[in-house]
Every structure is written in C-alpha cells, then in structure tokens.
Amino acid sequence: VHYRIDTKYFEYIQTQHPVIFMKPSELFYLHNILVKNIDRIAPEDDDPVRLILDELVLPPNPTKEEIENDSQISLTLQPMLPKELASSVFIDEIEKLYESTKHLIIDMLIEADESVNVDIISFIMSQDNNDATQVLQNLATLEQNRHPKVTKANDFDDIMEDIKNDIAVKTHLREKLLFEKERMEKTLSKLHEKEETIQSTIEEYDQYLQGCLKESLNYKQEKKKKRRNSAVKYSCASLVKKKVISSISLNSAHAYFTIEKMDDDLGSFHIRVLIKGIEIHSLDLIYSELLDRQYNGQYELDILDGRCTLRINLLVYLLTTIQ
C-alpha cells in the first residue's frame, strides 16, 4: 500500500489558490439566477448560499453599452471552512498542522514497516526520534485547539481512521487509474494492429497500381510495335478539301501523302509525298516545332521547294488524329 495520499483537506494547505475570470455583467447575471431560483438551489434556511445572498443587495441590470464595454476581473477562490472548525481563529494553521501531523505519522509507519492498524500511541512511544516527539507535540496542540478528530479520550483513533480512509480513497483511485491504463494500452495495441493492417492494405494497393501501370506500359509498347511502319495515306485532293493544303502547283491527280508517327518519339512524324507510287519528297515534322511556328505568327509551311503550301493550324489538327 502506498501511503502518499491526496486528502480532502488538500485545498487548505495549497500555497496557490485557483483564479477565475468573469465580467461584471456575467457576475450580475449569475447573481440574478441564484436569487430567482434560491428555493430550488438552497431549500434549507441555514444554507450558506441563502445566507450569503441575504447579506447582499440585489444586483443591478447593466445596459447593453455597459455589457459591451465590460472588462474581465479576476476572482481568487478560497476554500470554504468546515462548520465544526469555524469558531477557531487559527483554523488555517490548525488544519495545516493536522495535515502535516498525518504525513509525519505516515512517514514513521513507512520507515518502521508498520500497518495502519497499529495502536498509534504505543507505536509513537516506541519510536526514539525527533519525528515521534514532533507528532506528540502536534497532537497535544491539536487537542488543545479542539480539533474534532484529535482527542486523547479515544487514543487518537479518529486521526488513524482518517488516514485509513485517505489510503482507501487513494487505493481506489490508483486501481481505477490502473484499470484505465490497461484499457488504454489495449486500445493502443488494437490501433497499432489496425495501423499495420491499413499499411499492409496500402502496400497491396500500391503493388496493384504498379502492376496495372506496368501492364499499361507493356500494352502501349505492344500497340506501338503493331503500328510500326504503318502509315496513314491521304490523297492531295482530300487534303485540299480538308484545307490542309492551301496551294499546290504540281499534278495532284496521282499525288498522295503518307504520314507515319515515329515509334521512338510520339511527337515526331515522317511525311512522304508520292506520285504514282514514286517518292518525290520526304520530311520529318516535330509537333512542338509546328506549335512554335504557329505561336510566332508563321501560319503556313512550304514544301516541295515552294510548290506546295500547308496550313500549319490544320496540319497540327490532322496530326493529332493519327494514332
């Protein structure tokens, strides 16, 4: 059992008290609520809340402008003193002395490896040290100041019962915290397992996508191999009709163009001009260069030493249709 305890009197020995911040309008509003509902909040005539409100005047009703211009004030909270100790003028000092005495007794029990069920007087008298002397002096002072839990008439059993109660509360809280800790550790373990499962699923999806991408690339490569050396054939008449050829000065009745997309570069095209199956001209066109020409204001392209002129914008469109 751990004897280091947090008691219900801890608030009396704190060196710093809690502070709350409120606006005066909020304080007046709270006061009004208490006054209107006093019978429900404090039904007993001797209730401290009712007694305090009886001593106060009714709160004012601030205007809207006052509420908007309100600034916060700080209120330091002080512990409410027990009724049975209210008559003592040394209440704070007595309670501090009571708590320090309990801790001295606990330290002595721990050092001597004794149970809290030991007879306190016999135990203290058997100890020959300064702590034992200090405890006896403190008990005498507390009894002299009529502390309700310190009396020689019952061999100071009340203070030992108080220590037992504090230990029981602390033990209960520790067990509850340990239970919560175990529960949180189990939850954390499940989350880690879930994380591993999700990570494994992500890796599987990633492998699946990589496989799909690889298959897609292989399919495109196979498709390109099938297209190799396959060219699209256009007659001069059809290109004139499509307005790709703006002017031509050769016998176009038996002339035609073949356009082939290069395998090694999807932006390159090989164009051949043939008359009756005999090649009379060929050139390579790069898609990006055609776009640059168009951007720079060159809208036509001369081939065959100027005997044939192509409109660049329609040529670009035609090339985009070639698979």
Residue 85 confidence class, pLDDT cut points 50, 70, 90: very low
Q: So what's the pLDDT on residue 258? A: 92
Write the Ramachandran bin of 112: left for phi over 0, alpha for psi from -120 to 50, otherwise beta. Answer: alpha
Q: Residue 234's closest CA among 319, 121, 133?
A: 319
Angle of CA points 120, 171, 178, to nearest 5°: 155
Tokens representing 73? Answer: 């004030």
**Residue 6 CB-half CA count within 13 A:** 7
**Among 40-44, 166-170, 216-220, 225-229, which is the least confidently predicted range?**
225-229
Q: So what's the pLDDT on residue 226? A: 54
Rounded Cα gap, residues 183 and 13, in angstroms? 34
pLDDT digits 0-9 by tens, 269-296: 889 999 888 899 999 988 888 989 998 9
Residue 197 confidence class, pLDDT cut points 50, 70, 90: very high
Q: So what's the pLDDT on residue 19? A: 86
Cβ(32)–Cβ(59) below 8 Å: yes
Rounded Cα gap, residues 306 and 308, in angstroms? 5
Burial of 135: CB neighbours in 10 Å, binned 0-12, 13-18, 19+: buried
Q: Which amino acid is at 187?
A: T
- Taking residues 59-84, report their average pLDDT: 75
Secondary structure in 3-state letters for 202-215: HHHHHHHHHHHHHH
Q: So what's the pLDDT on residue 243? A: 92
| Helices 24-36 and 48-55, axial angle in degrees (round to 10) | 120
pLDDT above 70: residue 154: yes
pLDDT above 80: residue 244: yes
pLDDT above 90: residue 312: yes
- Average pLDDT along the chain: 81
Residue 46 confidence class, pLDDT cut points 50, 70, 90: confident
Q: So what's the pLDDT on residue 257? A: 92
Q: Is 268 helix (H, G, I), strand (E, B) or coil?
A: strand
Helices (H) and strands (E) in the chain, counts: 11, 9
Q: Which residue has the higher pLDDT, 258 or 122?
A: 258
Q: So what's the pLDDT on residue 199? A: 92
DSSP secondary structure letter of residue 262: -
Verdict on whether the full-model pTM lies above 0.85: no
Cβ(255)–Cβ(274) below 8 Å: yes
Phi, psi of 285 (to 5 degrees): -115, 140
Q: So what's the pLDDT on residue 66? A: 78
Cβ(316)–Cβ(286) below 8 Å: no
- Taking residues 295-301, report their average pLDDT: 91
Q: So what's the pLDDT on residue 11? A: 53
Q: So what's the pLDDT on residue 323? A: 63
Q: So what's the pLDDT on residue 192? A: 92
Burial of 27: CB neighbours in 10 Å, binned 0-12, 13-18, 19+: middle
Residue 86 confidence class, pLDDT cut points 50, 70, 90: very low
Rounded Cα gap, residues 136 and 170, in angstroms? 26
pLDDT above 60: residue 122: yes
